Amino acid sequence: MRKKFVAGNWKMHGSHSANAELLSGILAARPFACDVAVCVPFPYLGEVAVALAGSDVRWGAQDCSAHEKGAYTGEVSAAMLSEFGCRYVIVGHSERRHYHGESDQLVADKAKAVLARGLTPIVCVGETLGQREQGTAHATVKRQLSAVIHALGHCVGEMVVAYEPVWAIGTGVTATPEQAQEMHSLIRAQLHAATGHADAMKILYGGSMKPENAGSLLAQQDIDGGLIGGAALKAADFVAICRAAG
């Protein structure tokens, strides 16, 4: 059986005081039966590493450069994230695809850069509302995933995939457990065709996951955890989702 995994994506939220309160609330609620991580803004990685060191709560970043190093002003490399003890790096979040024009190829290159440093990419895929209404949701997700599968080659099995339908992110509209399960099983089939051993791979759901709906989503056969946005900013909500995953 796959162990469940719940990761918080803080997005561009936080402050020294808010982070300290949130992390102490999470730490106080241990132990968790599932794996738990928080993906935080770059400037807070140092303090988060200090706060979580010695615990089983992992941390990570929300993006990284596809380049190893060099004249890329404003970018942060996977090697730097590794020095801060990151275990995970989110790549290809729909907000980066949308606001920063990240292509499937760039996302795949980022995932490769993350793996090359021994970190685990959490690769986000998901369709927009328009694509779902046009009946191209599956083709969209398949295309996004294909680029990463192609780039990672024999290391495909080491990534975590997050299915995040764009229409469910930050909207309060959640995919039904059946809608999410349907896409997750298609994703697993594609991963299985590529690796031959996708049974062990984790596929997270993200998009308005809250304490109230986490249980029914996480009960689905191919939903192995959650990538949590808004509800990851309140310790009580995040902890409740972790408990639902346990």
Active site residue 93: yes
Closest distance to ligand 13P from the beta carbon of 180 (Å): 13
- Please say which residue, 118 or 170, places its beta carbon nearer to ligand 13P: 170
Residue with tokens 């984790």: 202
How far is residue 13's CA from residue 91's CA, in Å, rounded to a whole number?
Answer: 18
CB count within 10 Å of CB 232 equals 25
- Please say which residue, 119 or 228, places its beta carbon nearer to ligand 13P: 228
- Please say which residue, 52 or 231, places its beta carbon nearer to ligand 13P: 231
Active-site hit among 95, 102, 127, 164:
164
Closest distance to ligand 13P from the beta carbon of 205 (Å): 9
Token pair, residue 50, equals 């200090």
CB count within 10 Å of CB 199 equals 11
Closest distance to ligand 13P from the beta carbon of 226 (Å): 8
Interface residues with ligand 13P (CB under 6 A) are 9, 93, 164, 169-170, 206-209, 227-231
Closest distance to ligand 13P from the beta carbon of 6 (Å): 11
Active site residue 164: yes
Strand-pairing partners, residue 60, are 39, 88
Coil/strand/helix, residue 21? helix
How far is residue 80's CA from residue 63's CA, in Å, rounded to a whole number?
Answer: 12
Active-site hit among 93, 95, 102, 184:
93
3-state helix, strand, coil split of the chain in percent (to 5) is 50, 15, 35
Residue with tokens 């738990």: 36
- Please say which residue, 14 or 229, places its beta carbon nearer to ligand 13P: 229
- Strand 160-163 to 203-205 pairing: parallel
Which residues are annotated as catalytic? 93, 164
